[in-house]
Chain A
Amino acid sequence: MRAEDRSFDRVIRVKAETSRLAEIRRFVEEVATEVALDLERVFDLKVAVSEACANAVEHAGCDAVPLEVCARLRARRLTFVVTDTGLFRPPCLPRESFQNRGLGLPLMVALMDEVSFSRAPGGGTTVSLSVLLDRGAAIPA
């Protein structure tokens, strides 16, 4: 099989806690390194996926729902999909640091080639973060 045709799926499932973000970033690094992304793009992916996961942890609240991150390589496009099953809810405790809330989304958009969000009928949220391995080249139809 030619390298251009390569595709794979990887998944990591952890407890929805911020203490697990470092583990998720190691997973992102392993996958991104496997497809030979340069170090800058690996860093970007780690930040974007970590931000999406931090949001998911917040949505999960105190519920014991797992946090799932899927990595998918198709047609020279690497996509990380972050799914949480929690409902969106505003933070229950006002904290000063919430004055800076809302940085995560602009960072994801600034660092990724493509970002999309969707809401499942049950109320869960899915965030897809993609990088094109041949950035600048035409996207295959």
Chain B
Amino acid sequence: MFKGQTYAGDSFYEFLRVDHPNLLPNWGGTNWADVSLIHGTTVLALVCKDGVLMAGDRLATEGHAVGTRDLEKVFRIDETCMMAIAGAAGPAIEMVRMFQLELEHFEKLDGQPLTFEGKANRLSFLLRQNLPAAMQGLVVMPLFAGFDHDKGRGRIYKFDITGGRFREADSYSTGSGGKDARASLKKIPRHEELTREQAIEAAVEALMDAADEDRATGGIDVARGIYPTTKIATKTGVEDVSDDELRRVYERILAGRKGGS
């Protein structure tokens, strides 16, 4: 109807591909593995009583150097869900933006939001579009979590570069320190009884463990006031956990560790 609009469906990505292909990123033609790029490191998600919590350290590496000390790697996507990213930060953040718009665009055109399952499938689709870039070294490893209103609880999906979508019942962590954070998270006995407070503590502790073992994961930086990005999705929406609250949790963990050793 407007000049230059021919696409008539509900997908924003498809709309750009058909009518404004120049706006879409094109990362072809280079082997990115040889180029020093900003990379995000450890992010995690864990189910708790009220929903699901997501957290990520703030460090980004550029080769062996510090790329950014305070990168945000956990994003609110809409009223119900969040996405965390590890891997090549440029394409990953672009994917977050596209995913947010894809869901918002659908909701506005269709008059109602996608189901949780539908949203996860849309992210799979975007990852499949990124496959050629991933094969050239621009690997994006997202984690998707949110409150599923149909099921009445928090849910987590992890993905691989082919768009493969895998449900995780309780918790997962990805990125360079993901394995260490997972080792920490799997000790949680019963996720359905985990309070908000306990979930934040478990997440901070897991990120501290990851920072301890993985050189690329950033620890908590009290001097600069840099705390992990932490968000919780519950029935009422997605909210940020404040730095003040994180600092208190951190100090409590430190006090406990000193006392114990």
Partners in one complex: no
Interface on B for A, CB 8 Å cutoff? none
Interface on A for B, CB 8 Å cutoff? none
